[in-house]
Each structure stands twice: as C-alpha cells, then as structure tokens.
Amino acid sequence: MGRGYSTEEMRQKLILALEDSETGMSGVEVSEKIGVNRITMAKYLKVFAAEGLLRQKNIGNVTLWFLEPGQESYTFPNDYFKIQSLYLNNLVKGHEDQVYSLIRNCLHSGATANRLIHEVILSAINSVKNLYDDSKIGTAEQNLLGTTISKSLQIFNQLPVVSDPKKNVVVLAADTQSLLFSEAASSAYHSDGWRVSHLGDMSSAINVLFDLDFQKLIGKIWKQKPGILIVVVFSQTDEGLNFFADSINPIKEKSGKNMKLALCGKISKKTKIDSDLLSEKLEDILQWSKTVFENMK
C-alpha cells in the first residue's frame, strides 16, 4: 500500500485525480499527482482496471488511464436512495455500461450486496413491470431491460464469497415473469454465503415427471444432507405455486426436517398451499432462511 493508504483510500484518490481529465493521464502523471511511487501505482492501476473502475488506452509507447463513466464517490447507507434513481435512469435510457459501472462502483464504495439487491435491483424490476403494464414500453424493450438487470445480478454472483456447505438453497421460477425475482434471490443468497442451485424458469418442466426429476437432482446436490436445504419457488400464479408445492412436499417429507419449502408469490385469500413459508416479499424469505438455519445449529 502506498504510504499506508488502504485500497478504498487509493480508490478515492484515483477518482479525484481522474474525474476531470478528458484526455487521460499516464501512470507517471497519476503517481506524481497522488504522491505514490510508480511501481506501487502501476499495481493499483491494473487492479482497479480489472475491477472496472478504470480503462486504459495505448498511444504509441504511452498508456493513458481514464475513469470509467459513472464513477463517483458515494457514502452508504445515505446514498442507497440516490443509487436507486440513478440505476433506473441509466437502465431505461439504455446506458448499459453505466448500469454495470454503477453497481461495481457502489460495491467498491462500501455498499452491501444484499441491500443493493433489495433497494435497487428489486425496485428496478418492479418499475420495469409497471412501465410495461402501463403500456409505456413494449415486450421487446421489457425483455431488453430485463436482460440488462440479469447481467447486473451476475456482478453479485462473481463476488468472492466463501459458501457454507451447511447452507444449501435451490431457487426456481414457475414462469417467465418470475425469472428475474428468482435471479435476484439467488444473488442475495450467494452474497450471504449460501450454496445456490438456481434452476431458472421451470415452466417447461410442469408435467407428471417433475417430482422424479427433482428428487434425482436433490440426491446429487444434497447427497450427504449436510446442514439445511431450502427450496424457494417464485410464481406469479396460484397454479404455479400449487404445482411445485404438490410435487416438492412429498420429497421434503422423505428427506427429513432439514429440508424446507418457501413459496414467493401473491395468492388469493381462499387458496391454501402447504409450505413452510408463503410470502410476497423476497426480504421475508431471506430473513426466514437465515433464522431457520440459525435455529437448527
């Protein structure tokens, strides 16, 4: 570390040094401006370029460094609401690179992954759905925005996290409309150290053979039955929740008390579905999962 600087301090100094530089700066110029020796500065530049904070451009024998768009200094938890608005604005305007840079910048600035998912990503998913329902965007644009959100979530999945072999979760969507919510849940579980098996949109698997197929899968991913296994199903319809609950509950009974079923979706008051938890909110399911795991230890 240069002169005792932490990585975060160096990051802030680089932002201040490069934020007004339209023509870029050489490594030598950056090291002189910040006051760090050239060798140490070169290492930091490479690390931050790999993280998406910087980009480089080679002109002859000179390498110039630029700040990636959207790199600002944020303070958390105060700036979560600000990020929510910035993310949605960049998303709707089609500024894909700035969407990803914003998420990386927030993570580098001390934002927690789960809170970003809850307050920014989930909010954007609901906002895009509302735009579609209000006929302000069409199916093509809705799918495009959904793809960008999905790629944003992959940033969280790439975070180096040491997973606990006793914390196991299977996440699936019963329909296409629930897919992004299931992806958001998978990223949140991953960030919290769970071993995640995300099955994606399983609407095509709604048939009489699903229970056999699913039981084989459970036997592979939870072979020695360490700790706990939670199955989380997302669905926009009663029918989807009912089908997967009816298929999974018999497997859960055979597997013992450490396999749980959580359903996420809005159902009518008259509908009764057998599950360990039924909620409309992902936050409730994540907190419940944490509580169940803590209680079993």
> Is there a single domain that holds both residue 150 and residue 186?
no
> Is there a single domain that holds both residue 216 and residue 275?
yes
Q: State the Cα–Cα distance between residues 126 and 177, nearest whole angstrom.
A: 11
> Is there a single domain that holds both residue 174 and residue 249?
yes
> Is there a single domain that holds both residue 127 and residue 63?
no
Q: State the Cα–Cα distance between residues 125 and 282, nearest whole angstrom.
A: 13
Q: Which residues on adjacent β-strands are paired with residue 231?
A: 170, 261
> Is there a single domain that holds both residue 272 and residue 182?
yes
Is 152 part of any domain? yes
Confidence (pLDDT) at 128: 97
Is cis: bond before 160, omega within 30 of 0? no
| CATH assignment of the domain containing 37 | 1.10.10.10
Render each residue's pLDDT in the chain as its tens digit; 297 residues.
345 567 778 888 888 888 878 889 999 999 999 988 889 899 889 888 877 788 889 988 889 998 876 667 788 899 999 999 999 999 999 999 889 988 988 887 889 999 999 999 999 999 999 999 999 999 999 999 999 999 999 999 998 899 999 999 999 999 999 999 999 999 999 999 999 999 999 999 999 899 999 999 999 999 999 999 999 999 999 999 999 999 999 999 999 999 999 999 988 777 789 999 999 999 999 999 999 999 987
Burial of 269 (0-12, 13-18, 19+ CB in 10 A): exposed
Burial of 279 (0-12, 13-18, 19+ CB in 10 A): middle
Q: Identify the domain containing residue 125 by its residue range.
A: 80-157
Is 73 part of any domain? no
